[in-house]
A and B are shown apart, each in its own frame.
Chain A
Amino acid sequence: MWARAVWLALRVPLGRRRGFTCQADSQGSGRITADVIEHLERLALVDFGSREAVVRLEKAVAFADRLHAVDTDGVEPMESVLEDRCLYLRSDYIAEGNCAEELLQNSHRVVEEYFVAPPGNISLPQLGEQLPFPTDSSSHSGKGIPHEHVEEQ
């Protein structure tokens, strides 16, 4: 009996049913501006690299735009399927640490027990002007003595 129902349903011409394997638009919308692209590259520290990548983003956005067809009035956003569960709390004990050696082993550049980064506080667009020896926050610091950077919070 069940089988019959399925078969009946299937006899409906397929073209009339809207599948949900929505094909992405073949063309990008072209609405991602150069500014946005640059902004994204700077925020993500990932470059598009090619026109195709931009088209890919445009397609991805066009694909996402389909969601606007859904009526979500009065619907609360759902962050987690565990939203009604109690968040687990840890007791304030020291249970980790003292593993600098293990951690530093996976780093390509290490000085003593420190990880080593290139000089900081220079954003990408400034680089062109500042090569080869950028001195960033050193302007108000000691001479070559390691000093703490002004923190971001």
Chain B
Amino acid sequence: MLGRTLREVSTALKQGQITPTELCRKCLSLIQKTKFLNAYITVSEEVALKQAEESEKRYKKGQSLGDLDGIPIAVKDNFSTSGIETTCASNMLKGYIPPYNATVVQKLLDQGALLMGKTNLDEFAMGSGSTDGVFGPVKNPWSYSKQYREKQQQNPHGESEDSNWLITGGSSGGSAAAVSAFTCFAALGSDTGGSTRNPAAHCGLVGFKPSYGLVSRHGLIPLVNSMDVPGILTRYVDDTAIVLGILAGHDPKDSTTVQDPVKSFVLPNLIDVSKLCIGIPKEYLVPELSSEVRSLWSKAADLFESEGAKVIEVSLPHTCYSIVCYHILCTSEVASNMARFDGLEYGHRCDINVSTEAMYAATRREGFNDVVRGRILSGNFFLLKENYENYFIKAQKVRRLIANDFVNVFNSGVDVLLTPTTLREAVSYLEFIKEDNRTRSAQDDIFTQAVNMAGLPAVNVPMALSSQGLPIGLQFIGRAFCDQQLLSVAKWFEKQVQFPVIQLQQLMDDCSLSLENEKLASVSLKQQ
């Protein structure tokens, strides 16, 4: 049941094959069993069960609210949830209980979805590994999959199995792990530079970043307002389309949502690929790209070509500046967005009370981790009067060049761009933490980040397993507000590649493993 598509489960619920409460309990028990993954910061068991009960009543009366009624979902812990602690994985917001729901959360709840909990992330979503949050790193469920374990046994690394677990990617790693481990059917992530697509690629999921302005950010605790979008993580493209259909549309509480009426996001089962023009940006072929990803990318292009699509090489000449440009714009907005965290109205507050400034400074020192503090300081540096023109304005100009690159390509007749999502499959935690956060982000966001500059929709679709038995995904990038077309192509591709389901039976059955791992996880779990 848990591995089915959203529509299948919805049908099962309607037909009474399973009740929302049963479904909810199954997911809750799985959350318990996979606790060591550290996917959730808060499990909202009571809330979920109560919602399930209400959903059950509706089903009994034959008054289901729609496809999402009774469906377990998870939400990244940087979305505001009324009455449920929202931490951004930061000491700064530990204990903060928002009095309101983010618009996207409200929309899901209005459809009868069951909120299982709030998922882990890098502190304030600043990172690409889901390793830099105050509640510890998220572990990639694939570390424990049959597919990976078998390959590991063939090539022993000498390192102990348990310390050699893989990262999920990030920063929406908790949401990715939650969906990947079958603890929910869909999860909300956020995507500023690839934070939804990157963990989706590492966890073998569909990770969708909608067009900027299509989905409300109200209640999403911002990283970079001009690039953030709520992201959707599911196991299937159709599931994403269903969730998008619910989330999309103008929100009077978010002035950056467009006022045009939204069209349906239902995806056709058959599309005529031969009418498509697929662009392959040559700048995405970089030396650091792993040969496996490279060959899958090439295979995917072949696949489209063999079905009659026009596949052409295109150029996005300013891509190589995207990361630097992002670095400036992101840190600057972070410097600004983080100014509100001072301990006065909400969040952490230090014990110092000699003056307002001293209290603020100590609160901010205690509340933010090194990464956040570092970005605040860099951002403030770029915004100084004497630096503003040279750095911030310069970056905004480069941003236009990057966005124009995409406009030019799409104007030349390209419908969808096909690129890798990540350089390689997921790496182990020990490997990952060798580099500092900024360098890692710079490496990991390279294929995903430019899209946020231009506000375009993009989606990771898992394609195949690597020789290590780990997922590799490719990214499709669409025209602004052509999200439905993009997902239609993604759905077609998904159908062609038949990506294997993660095999976690052993993990789920093996209680000893989860116990053993719980000890490990306890080091990094909540330390309140």
Contact = CB atoms under 8 A, between A and B. Distances in A.
Interface of A: 1-3, 5-7, 9-10, 14-15, 17-24, 32, 36, 39-41, 43-49, 53, 56-57, 59-61, 63-64, 66-70, 72, 75-82, 85-88, 90, 99, 102-103, 105-109, 115, 117-124, 127, 131-132, 134
A14 B287 contact: yes
The 9 lowest CB-CB distance pairs between A and B, nearest first, are A81-B455, A77-B396, A20-B320, A78-B400, A106-B346, A72-B397, A14-B287, A122-B355, A108-B349
A97 to B, nearest CB: 13
Given A17-B286, A46-B368, A67-B324, A105 B361 contact: no
Interface stretch (B38-46, B373-381, B496-504): B373-381
Contacts of B374: 53, 56-57, 60
B446 interface: yes
Contacts of B364: 45-46
11 contacts: A6-B285, A6-B297, A45-B342, A56-B436, A70-B321, A70-B401, A76-B397, A81-B213, A81-B403, A88-B257, A131-B354
Nearest to A120: B356
A22 B442 contact: yes
B212 A119 contact: no
Contacts of A66: 321, 324
Contact of B391 (A14, A46, A64, A108): A64
A82 B256 contact: yes
Interface stretch (B267-275, B298-306, B520-528): B298-306
Nearest to B370: A53
B327 to A, nearest CB: 6
Of B255, B305, B365, most buried by chain A (CB within 10 Å of CB) is B255
Contacts, number: 237
B360 A60 contact: no
Of B213, B226, B313, B380, most buried by chain A (CB within 10 Å of CB) is B380
Contact of B358 (A2, A20, A43, A118): A118
Given A77-B399, A79-B396, A107-B345, 10 more contacts: A9-B282, A17-B287, A43-B380, A46-B364, A60-B331, A60-B378, A81-B480, A82-B212, A90-B252, A106-B347
Given A10-B294, A76-B397, A44 B377 contact: yes
A57 B255 contact: no
B102 interface: no
B324 A115 contact: no
B383 to A, nearest CB: 9
A131 B354 CA distance: 8
B487 interface: no
Interface residues on B, range: 35 or more
Interface of B: 96-97, 99, 212-213, 226, 250, 252, 255-259, 280, 282-283, 285-288, 294, 297-299, 301-302, 305, 311, 313, 318-325, 327-328, 331, 335, 342-347, 349, 352-361, 364-365, 368, 370, 373-374, 376-378, 380-382, 384, 390-391, 393-401, 403, 423, 436, 438-439, 442-443, 446, 454-455, 480
Contacts of A60: 327, 331, 374, 378, 381, 438
A52 B137 CA distance: 23
A117 B294 contact: no
A1 B381 CA distance: 49
Contact of B354 (A15, A76, A106, A132): A132
A7 B291 CA distance: 11
Please report whether the interface of chain A is mostly helix, strand, loop or mixed according to DSSP: loop
Given A10-B294, A56-B374, A85-B258, A21 B442 contact: yes
A53 B285 CA distance: 34
Contact of A20 (B286, B331, B349, B370): B286
A78 B395 CA distance: 9
Contact of B323 (A20, A75, A86): A20
B311 A57 contact: no
